[in-house]
Amino acid sequence: MVAEPVYAATTVPLATGLITFDNLTIGYDRHPAVHHLSGSFRPGSLTAIAGPNGAGKTTLLKTVTGLLRPLDGEVRLNAISRRDIAYLPQQAEIDRGFPISVGDAVAMGHWRQIGAFGGVTGALMRQARLALNAVGLQGFDSRPVGSLSVGQFQRMLFARLLLQEAKLIILDEPFAAIDAKTTNDLLGLILRWHGEGRTVIAVLHDLEQIRTCFPETLLLAREPVGWGPTAEILTPDNLCKARAMIEAWSEEAERCRR
Amino acid sequence: MTQVMTLALDFLFGPFVDFAFMRQALVACLALSLGSGPVGVFLILRRMSLVGDAMSHAVLPGAAIGFVIAGLSLVAMGIGGLIAGLLVALLSGLISRYTALREDASFAAFYLMSLALGVLIVSTHGSNVDLIHVLFGTILAVDRTALVAIATVTSLTLLCFAVIYRPLVMECFDPGFMRAAGRWGGICHGVFLVMLVANLVTGFQALGTLMSVGLMMLPAAAAKFWARDVWSLMLTAAAIAFTSAYCGLLISYHAGIASGPAIILVAGGAYVLSLLFGRADSLRSRYLRSSHLTA
């Protein structure tokens, strides 16, 4: 038996992963943010990505969603296309004062069914209302999005995610600046998606949250520190390693020869 | 009493009853308002207000070349302006995509070059009067061909809005979401830029290249203080634009002043009034508190 590298998901062979990284190096303008990452996300897995600021977490998510091209290596999607991915960015370029009602904004989660011209039928509207109820925003349909607080806005975006019925859901720090009650409600939705067999990847900073809700963790610090079952990855030793990460960005950096 | 009524009616409608050129000008303004108002609303929603301004200058060399070739013909100048405007939009888009320069900066660079080139062409090939015509427009000289051209562009604009309405609204609200949903985001941006240039070009026979953007931005900015939905913003903007145009024409007729500036100044007045007394987020609603509700 060949020992697998520590950072590969230990439970599955690489070929059956939903997303597989093959010696992936990503970054901006030839300067890498994450070096030489290999491993894969199992279909139906619930994985947290943890690591200090500047560890390359967001860069990794952007590469998976196709917003960034890898500097080296590749990302392989297996049995899904980019359109099956629902992505909630950390700082969405959403115009929060836009004159649109909460109901309309959420109903656009049906985009894959209705596209640019399809009608929003009564059934689809009902689903949108149910999604609003599920995130605790019942009765908000006709309110303008500009009147929502930050937490309520995040709930609304989760309602839209609910309608998208995506096979892969990617969340970038979904609970930043969100109170405990909202966080708990939204965590419940994430567990519901997990129960429905969807693959969920979330960048999180709260280690307690990760330990209680996320079976698997990828600990990132510009290089993979560990990737596997959460209990085995979030060890004091690994966390120490992650903290010691150097935020090196040098104009004169040499070519990487690994 | 009836005498006052007659006088008032004569003041308000007389010029349009008596003179065909006033009627044509009014119809041209109606068409322009229906197209420009909604385009202006989306310019504001997309935070592209100044891009509209830049584009209105960018069309000048194309219009000037059309003018040199065919004289003061809206169709020839319009086609020239359309080509010049789209070229500037395309080049600025490409530059901002492939270099570090932001879109606003590359737009500014191109429209300044474009404007200088346009003024140069007109000043070497025409008299100063012609230059004034191109820069400031003459709505009272709108002929049948020009009217048909304006009406065509307006109809196409409204049709385009109907077709791309949903993706365009979503693209303004959440561009990241539309990027993930497929190609619509890019298509909308392109179609919208074409609509913008086409409406600016039809506006400049009436109002001149420098001021045609005024009938877009001022009514749209004023509408922000009255309406809270995208569709009602579009409707309000078009209504304010047409009312301003009607009042402007009337004032220009009775006071014997230039029509273009008169129309834009009335639109400016509508903006100031909306800013002060509008229903939504105006200064009045900010400083005159009405009693609050229970929830």
pLDDT in tens, B67-82: 788 776 777 888 888 8
For B51, list phi and psi in degrees, rounded to 5. -65, -40
Using the Cβ of B229 and the Cβ atoms of chain A, whether some distance falls under 8 Å is answered with: yes
The confidence band for B158, taking pLDDT boundaries of 50, 70 and 90, is: very high
Looking at CA atoms only, how far is residue A228 from chain B in angstroms? 29
Give the residue-averaged pLDDT of B223-239.
92
User: B121-135, B140-154, B181-195: lowest mean pLDDT where?
Assistant: B121-135
Out of B173, B181, B230, the one facing A94 most closely (by C-beta) is B173
Q: Which CATH architecture has domain B2-280?
A: Orthogonal Bundle (1.10)
**DSSP code of residue A227:** E
pLDDT at B183: 80
Residue in B164, B170, B229 nearest the CB of A99: B229
Q: What distance in Å separates residue B173's CA from the closest CA in chain A?
A: 5
Min Cα–Cα distance to chain B from A24, Å: 22
**Separation of alpha carbons A75 and A63, rounded Å:** 8
- The shortest CB-CB distance from B228 to any of A67, A85, A144 is to A144
User: Is the CB of A92 less than 8 angstroms away from the CB of B174?
Assistant: yes
Mean of pLDDT values over A176-184:
84
- At A247, the pLDDT band (50, 70, 90 cuts) reads low
Instruction: Select from B177, B225, B226, B279 the residue whose CB has the most chain A CBs within 10 Å, as the one to mutate to test that interface.
Output: B177
**Cα distances (angstroms) measured from residue A229 to each of A171, A212, A236:** 19, 12, 15
The pLDDT tens digits of the residues spanning B160-180 come to 999 999 999 988 888 888 877
Query: Could you tell me where the DSSP H helices lie in A196-252?
Result: 207-213, 230-233, 236-243
Q: How confident is the model at residue B126 (pLDDT cuts 50, 70, 90)?
A: low
Of B180, B229, B233, the CB nearest to A87: B180
In DSSP notation, A131-190 reads: HHHHTT-TT-TTSBGGGS-HHHHHHHHHHHHHHH--SEEEEESTTTT--HHHHHHHHHHH
A208-217, B128-137, B194-203: the lowest-pLDDT one? B128-137
Nearest CA in chain A to B166: A116
The single-letter code of the amino acid at B239 is A
Q: Which two tokens stand for residue B207?
A: 């109002």
Residues of chain A with CATH 3.40.50.300: 1-80+168-258
Rounded to an integer, the average pLDDT of A60-67 is 86
CA distance B12 to B266: 16
pLDDT, average across residues B112-131:
78
d(CA A93, CA B176) in angstroms, rounded, equals 6
What is the distance between the alpha carbons of residues A229 and A217, in angstroms, rounded to a whole number? Answer: 6
| Band of pLDDT at residue A13, cut at 50, 70 and 90 | very low
pLDDT at B187 over 90: no
| Contacts with A, B 35-54, CB within 8 Å | 45
- Position with higher pLDDT, A247 vs A145: A145
Rounded to whole angstroms, how far apart are CA atoms A256 and A249? 13
Specify the higher pLDDT residue, A181 or A2: A181
pLDDT of residue B223: 94
Q: B56-60, B235-239, B270-274: which has the minimum mean pLDDT? A: B56-60
Supply the pLDDT for residue A22: 85
Compute the average pLDDT of residues A229-253. Answer: 75
Length of chain B: 295
Q: Which helix (H) or strand (E) holds A34?
A: strand A31-41
Indicate the pLDDT class of residue A6, thresholds 50, 70 and 90: very low
**Between residues B199 and A1, which one has the greater pLDDT?**
B199
Indicate yes or no: CB of A89 within 8 angstroms of CB of B176.
Answer: yes
Residue A15's pLDDT band, with cuts at 50, 70 and 90, is low
Residue of B nearest to A101 (CA): B229
Please give the mean pLDDT across all residues of chain A.
82
Chain pair A-B, CB pairs under 8 angstroms: 54
Q: Residue B204: phi, psi to the nearest 5?
A: -80, -20
In B, minimum Cα distance to A96 occurs at: B173
Give the Å distances, CA to CA, from A106 to A132, A182, B165.
8, 18, 17
CB atoms within 10 A of CB B290: 7
Residue with tokens 């007659």: B6
- Mean pLDDT for the stretch of residues A162-191: 88
What is the structure's pLDDT at A5?
Answer: 41
Q: Is the pLDDT of residue B156 over 90?
A: yes
Closest residue on chain A to B179 (Cα): A67
pLDDT at position A251 is: 58
Testing the interface with A: which of B165, B166, B189, B236 to mutate, by most A Cβ within 10 A? B166
Report CB contact under 8 Å: A65, B180.
Answer: yes
Residue % of chain B over a pLDDT of 70: 95
Kindly provide the b/e burial profile for residues A74-108, where b requires at least 16 CB atoms within 10 angstroms of the residue's own CB. ebebeeeeeebbbbbbeebebbeebbbbbbbbbbb
At A7, the pLDDT band (50, 70, 90 cuts) reads very low
CB contact under 8 A, B173 and A85: no
Strand pairing class (A224-229; A216-220): antiparallel
- Judged by CB atoms closer than 8 Å, whether chains meet at A100 and B230 is answered as yes
pLDDT tens track for A22-52: 888 888 877 778 888 888 888 889 999 998 8
Query: Who among B45, B166, B167 is closest to A98 (CB)?
Result: B45
pLDDT at B155 over 90: yes
Q: Which two tokens stand for residue A138?
A: 């019942």
Q: Residue ranges per domain, chain B?
A: 2-280
Fold of A1-80+168-258: Rossmann fold (3.40.50)
Q: How far does A111 lie from chain B, in Å, by closest CA?
A: 7
Give the pLDDT band (50/70/90) at residue A246.
Answer: low
Round to whole Å and give the CA distance between A30 and A62.
16
Measured between beta carbons, which residues in chain B are less than 8 angstroms from residue A83?
180-182
CB contact under 8 A, A99 and B228: yes
In 3D space, the residue among B174, B232, B198, B175 whose CA is nearest the CA of residue B41 turns out to be B232
- Best mutation target, A104, A112, A120, to test chain B (most B CBs within 10 A): A104
Mean pLDDT (chain B, rounded): 85
pLDDT value of residue A249:
52
